[in-house]
Amino acid sequence: MSDERTYADDEIPAKLDEYGIGDWYHEGNWIRRKYSTGGWPMTMMAVNAVGYLCEAAGHHADLEVTWGKLWVKLATHSAGGITDKDFTLARKIEETILWQPEADGPLDGPMSKFVFSK
């Protein structure tokens, strides 16, 4: 086991808020998040973005993938619980997956969102 600090079940909701990832939730031994997309191509782009972030961080998520939906689950297996690694990676995933170009910015982006918050 790692010497990283793990958080007790009753501490996790406050940590989710502290990290600005309130749409994530604690279930079982994981923090989790479901993303809805506009269809299979958008789901696969989201999966690849999450995969890239996890590989870059050296901290890997469990993913469930289906048409129009992606579930992301994080826990630090080496520590036996939820650590700051999980909250930090969840925040980076959230920032990346939900990012949209600014309406008045130089990037046009898609005409509609292709990953939805809820």
Using one digit for the tens of pLDDT, what is the confidence trace for 51-66? 999 999 999 999 999 9
Query: Domains (ranges, CATH) in the chain?
Result: 9-116 (3.30.1360.20)
d(CA 28, CA 1): 19
d(CA 25, CA 31): 5
Q: Are 90 and 21 in contact (CB under 8 A)?
A: yes
Supply the pLDDT for residue 31.
98
pLDDT tens for 15-40 read 999 999 999 999 999 999 999 998 99
Does pLDDT of 117 surpass 70? no
Supply the pLDDT for residue 86.
98
